């Protein structure tokens, strides 16, 4: 039965092509009338907002952690200088800071 129906449909498409009423190109989109928002639309909007909020908070926390890390590294290097250097503190401090310049601390 399905084979007969498919043959009939293909025959009809052939007829319409010969008369110029059937195009192989896509038809243009029909402009739909705007509809009112349903509950699910509000849920989807909330999910979108929440995803953006989570991403922003994650970036903020990473930036805050990087600042804490930088201040900790500076604090530890200063305390290391104070402990390691006796009389010539400025020279030791400079040497330790310069040795840390090329290191990647990401």
First to last CA, the chain: 68
Q: Stretch 52-75: mean pLDDT, rounded?
A: 90
93 within some domain? yes
Nearest CA among 82, 81, 83 for reference residue 99 = 81
37 within some domain? no
Residue count of the chain: 106
The structural domain count of the chain equals: 1
89 within some domain? yes
10 DSSP assignment: H
Q: Stretch 46-65: mean pLDDT, rounded?
A: 95
More confident site: 65 or 27: 65
More confident site: 70 or 48: 48
100 within some domain? yes
Give percent above pLDDT 70 in the chain: 73
pLDDT > 90? residue 61: yes
pLDDT at res. 74: 78
User: In terms of residue numbers, what domain contains 93?
Assistant: 69-106
Instruction: Please give the Cα distance from 73 to 27 (Å, whole number).
Output: 64
Instruction: Please give the Cα distance from 70 to 31 (Å, whole number).
Output: 56
36 within some domain? no
5 within some domain? no
Mean pLDDT across the chain: 81
Its pTM surpasses 0.85:
no
More confident site: 59 or 88: 59
């Amino acid at each position: 039965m399905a084979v007969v129906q498919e043959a009939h449909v293909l025959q009809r498409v052939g007829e319409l092509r010969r008369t110029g009423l059937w195009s192989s190109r896509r038809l243009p989109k029909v402009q739909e009338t705007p509809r009112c928002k349903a509950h699910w639309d509000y849920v989807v909007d909330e999910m979108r907002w929440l995803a953006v909020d989570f991403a922003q908070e994650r970036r903020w926390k990473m930036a805050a952690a990087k600042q804490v890390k930088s201040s900790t590294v500076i604090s530890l290097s200063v305390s290391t200088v104070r402990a390691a250097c006796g009389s010539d503190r400025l020279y030791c401090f400079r040497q330790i800071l310069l040795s840390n310049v090329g290191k990647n601390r990401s």
